[in-house]
């Protein structure tokens, strides 16, 4: 099958979170298994020189047929595994370093920027003489692709191409004034409450959800949750309307990048059968960050974008009380909300022997925290899939998670009687429930080390490779093609 992935992020070229990892590793897995996959993303100012050096400009410029024609340059890079990556160069929109915001506020022209990306996806096939069977669109940034496909491009060279839209995070939807329809060259008649209109404006994600042939989201639980009011973010009705076309497929992880046996970013490698290296990772972490000591004390780690979704504000709230009652060490890595960043820094100053905080984005530190920890904290308010808990399972760092979305689908709660489980789960995101879950993990660490070891062993043996999810995406593509061509 020929698949064009349309995305705002793909690792390692441009990344703010799990979207980049998920899209790129799915694309590589499908390509490895024999499909012909290509990927389109913007060439941001921040794409590093080492990648730029490997790309070649296509010989002709791309005419992007929005309301008016915009000319762009497309650069191609062919990865060693054969995946072709197209970078869309359009200085005015993508020349800046950051992807969505200036560090504080979203760019005011995001709707224009990602309309351009979407339209480029539909105009690129003509330039490269390659018609995809399926456009696989990721999140609202690619939401207009299915809209174009079922309106302006319904007749023409793409009439047999289907679209699949994957929701990685329903809380980001892409709003714009209705004038965006003229900018995009889309008919004004789409401005209807059942199609693109929401709250008086145009909602990109809603349009995609309405027009895509099939929909997926990144875990089975989240597929159910987004159809109800609590996590439906106002789109629960359109999701319920399309529920027969919606699949929940749990993400995989890139086992080459996240493998404790070969990871070059951790001081000691280890595996399920050879765990000595894990203890050494913790030891060197303690020597570096907690020189006052702490051997024998459990280490809790967390890595996250600091935003409402991740629930780390609740952790910050309970830390002083926790430090007063249990002897633990905590190491956090994250950036985002300025207030929370400052609160965490302040706590680290207050408890230097207990808490280490890195504010910023640091790939190497992320790997180190996954390897050195005993427990990994993810008290998310909602979590479509979550990759960090999957990494932590692979690294034998038992996740402590709120039972929601993909966390619920990937972490099996500890059973004290039998010793079963791969982590600790709790239900309500209250300070007390989180403190209880941490206390429970501490008790297991000190009082039932045999259970703990068995859980680590079990966690590390789970298969979260992309092969199974990729096969399900392939089913979904076939299903989308049937519905497109069957009705065509
Ligand atoms: P989300 O996509 O909602 O942020 P995920 O758990 O799916 O959550 O993915 C997060 C990804 O981003 C992981 O690869 C994680 O390691 C990475 N990440 C998040 N924050 C940081 C950070 N401050 N430094 C390094 N990596 C980070
Ligand atoms: C989003 C979600 C996260 C998911 C990731 C990749 O960023 O917040 O839960 O793992 O996308 O699908």
The pLDDT tens digits for 355-381 are 999 999 999 999 999 999 999 999 999
* Atom 19 of ligand 1: nearest residue by CA position: 304
Distance of CA 7 to the CA centre of its chain: 12
Mutate to test the pocket of ligand 2, among 5, 18, 27 (most ligand atoms within 8 A of CB): 18
- Ligand closest in space to the Cα of 222: 2
What is the pLDDT confidence band of residue 248, given thresholds at 50, 70 and 90? very high
Going from N- to C-terminal start, the domains of the chain cover: 2-252+467-485, 276-460
Contact 280, 287 (CB under 8 A): no
Nearest ligand to the C-alpha of residue 391? 1
pTM of the prediction? 0.96
The band of 487, judged by pLDDT with boundaries at 50, 70 and 90, is: low
Q: Tell me which of 7, 17, 216, 470 to substitute to probe ligand 2's pocket, judged by most ligand atoms within 8 Å of the beta carbon.
A: 17
| Spatial separation of the C-alpha atoms in residues 440 and 400, rounded to whole Å | 10
Q: What is the whole-number distance in angstroms between the Cα of residue 285 and the centre of ligand 1?
A: 20
Pull the structure tokens for residue 134: 């399926």
The residue whose C-alpha atom lies closest to atom 24 belonging to ligand 1 is 361
Q: pLDDT by residue (tens digit) across 406-465?
A: 999 999 999 999 999 999 999 999 999 999 999 999 999 999 999 999 999 999 999 999
pLDDT digits (tens, 9 = 90+) for 199-247: 999 999 999 999 999 999 999 999 999 999 999 999 999 999 999 999 9
List all residues 6 or more positions away from 351 whose beta carbon is below 8 Å from its beta carbon.
Answer: 319, 320, 323
276-460, superfamily in CATH?
Answer: Glycogen Phosphorylase B; (3.40.50.2000)
| Same fold? 2-252+467-485, 276-460 | yes
Is the CB of 363 inside a 6 Å radius of any atom of ligand 1?
Answer: yes
Give which of 330, 324, 333, 328 is closest to 298, Cα–Cα.
328
* Residue 374 CB less than 6 A away from ligand 1: no
Q: Domain 2-252+467-485 is classified in which CATH homologous superfamily? A: Glycogen Phosphorylase B; (3.40.50.2000)
Instruction: Give the binding-site residues of ligand 2, using a 6 Å CB cut-off.
Output: 17-19, 22, 168-169, 218, 251, 383-387, 406
Q: How far is the CA of 441 from the centre of ligand 1 (A)?
A: 23
Are 64 and 71 a contacting pair, CB within 8 Å? yes
Is the distance from the beta carbon of residue 333 to the nearest atom of ligand 1 less than 6 Å? yes
* Strand-strand pairing, 201-203 and 197-198: antiparallel
- Among the atoms of ligand 1, which is closest to the Cα of residue 385? 7
Name the burial class of residue 486, with classes exposed (0-12), middle (13-18) and buried (19+) by CB atoms within 10 angstroms of its CB: exposed
Q: Give the distance (Å) from ligand 1 centre to CA of residue 388.
A: 7
User: d(Cα 473, Cα 30) in Å, to the nearest integer?
Assistant: 9
Q: Is the CB–ligand 1 distance for residue 386 below 6 Å?
A: yes
In angstroms, how far apart are the furthest CA atoms of the chain? 70
How many other CB atoms are found less than 10 A from the CB of residue 53?
8
β-pairing, 56-57 with 175-176?
unpaired
**Band (300; pLDDT cuts 50, 70, 90):** very high
Please state the three-class secondary structure of the chain as a single string. CEEEEECCCECCCECCCHHHHHHHHHHHHHHHCCCEEEEEEECCCCCCHHHHCCCEECCCCEEEECCCEEEEEEEEEECCCCCEEEEEECHHHHCCCCCCECCCCECCCHHHHHHHHHHHHHHHHHHHCCCCCEEEEECHHHCHHHHHHHCCCCCCCCCCCEEEEEECCCCCCCEECCCHHHHHCCCHHHCCCCCCEECCEEEHHHHHHHHCCEEEECCHHHHHHCCCHHHHCCCHHHHHHCHHHEEECCCCCCCCCCCCCCCCCCCCCCCCCCCHHHHHHHHHHHHHHCCCCCCCCCEEEEEEEECHHHCHHHHHHHHHHHHHHCCCEEEEEEEECHHHHHHHHHHHHHCCCCEEEEECCCHHHHHHHHHHCCEEEECCCCCCCCCHHHHHHHCCCEEEEECCHHHHHHCCECCCCCCCCCEEEECCCCHHHHHHHHHHHHHHHHHCHHHHHHHHHHHHCCCCCCHHHHHHHHHHHHHHHHHHHHHC
Q: What is the pLDDT of residue 488?
A: 45
Closest CA to 35 of 487, 326, 471: 471
Q: Which ligand is in closest contact with the Cα of 387?
A: 1
CA distances from 46 to 14, 83, 98, 184, 275 (A): 8, 21, 7, 26, 38
Residue 310 alpha carbon, nearest atom of ligand 1:
3
Position 393 pLDDT exceeds 80: yes
108 burial (CB, 10 Å; 0-12 / 13-18 / 19+) is: exposed
pLDDT tens by residue, 83-139: 999 999 999 999 999 999 998 899 999 999 999 999 999 999 999 999 999 999 999
172 Cβ inside 6 Å of ligand 1: no
Ligand 2 center to residue 333 CA distance, Å? 17
Give the closest residue to 214 by CA, choosing from 156, 158, 289, 133. Answer: 133
């Amino acid at each position: 099958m020929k698949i064009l992935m349309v995305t705002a992020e793909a690792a390692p070229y441009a990344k703010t979170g799990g979207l980049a990892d998920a899209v790129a590793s799915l694309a590589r897995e499908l390509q490895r298994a024999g499909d012909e996959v290509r990927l389109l993303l913007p060439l941001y100012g921040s794409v590093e020189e080492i990648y730029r050096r490997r790309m070649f400009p296509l010989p002709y410029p791309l005419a992007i047929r929005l309301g008016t024609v915009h000319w762009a340059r497309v650069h191609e890079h062919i990865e060693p595994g054969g995946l072709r990556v197209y970078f869309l160069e359009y200085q005015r929109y993508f020349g800046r370093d950051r992807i969505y915001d200036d560090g504080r506020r979203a760019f005011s022209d995001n709707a224009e920027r990602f309309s351009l990306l979407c339209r480029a996806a539909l105009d690129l096939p003509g330039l490269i003489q390659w018609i995809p069977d399926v456009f696989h669109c990721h999140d609202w940034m690619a939401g207009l692709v299915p809209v174009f496909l079922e309106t302006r491009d319904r007749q023409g060279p793409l009439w047999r191409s289907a679209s699949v839209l994957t929701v990685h995070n329903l809380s980001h939807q892409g709003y714009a004034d209705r004038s965006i329809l003229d900018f995009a060259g889309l008919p004004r008649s789409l401005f209807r409450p059942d199609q693109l209109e929401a709250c008086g404006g145009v909602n990109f994600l809603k349009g995609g959800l309405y027009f895509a042939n099939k929909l997926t989201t990144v875990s089975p639980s989240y597929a159910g949750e987004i159809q109800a009011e609590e996590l439906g973010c106002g789109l629960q009705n359109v999701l319920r309307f399309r529920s027969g076309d919606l699949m929940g497929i749990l993400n995989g992880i890139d086992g080459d990048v996240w493998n404790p046996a070969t990871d070059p970013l951790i001081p000691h490698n280890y595996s399920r059968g050879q765990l000595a290296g894990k203890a050494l990772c913790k030891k060197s972490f303690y020597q570096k960050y907690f020189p006052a000591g702490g051997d024998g004390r459990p280490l809790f780690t967390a890595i996250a974008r600091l935003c409402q979704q991740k629930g780390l504000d609740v952790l910050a709230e309970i830390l002083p009380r926790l430090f007063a009652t249990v002897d633990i060490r905590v190491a956090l890595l994250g950036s985002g909300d300025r207030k929370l960043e400052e609160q965490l820094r302040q706590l680290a100053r207050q408890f230097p022997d207990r808490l280490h905080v890195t504010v910023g984005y640091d790939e190497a530190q992320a790997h180190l925290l996954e390897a050195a920890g005993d427990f990994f904290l993810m008290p998310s308010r909602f979590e479509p899939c979550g990759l960090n808990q999957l990494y932590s399972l692979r690294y034998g760092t038992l996740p402590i998670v709120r039972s929601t979305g993909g966390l619920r689908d990937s972490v099996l709660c500890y059973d004290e009687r039998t010793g079963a489980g791969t982590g600790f789960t709790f239900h309500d995101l209250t300070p007390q429930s989180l403190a209880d879950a941490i206390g429970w993990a501490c008790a297991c660490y000190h009082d039932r080390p045999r259970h703990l070891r068995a859980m680590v062993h079990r966690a590390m043996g789970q298969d979260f490779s992309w092969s199974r999810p990729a096969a399900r995406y392939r089913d979904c593509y076939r299903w989308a093609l049937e519905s497109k061509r069957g009705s065509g």
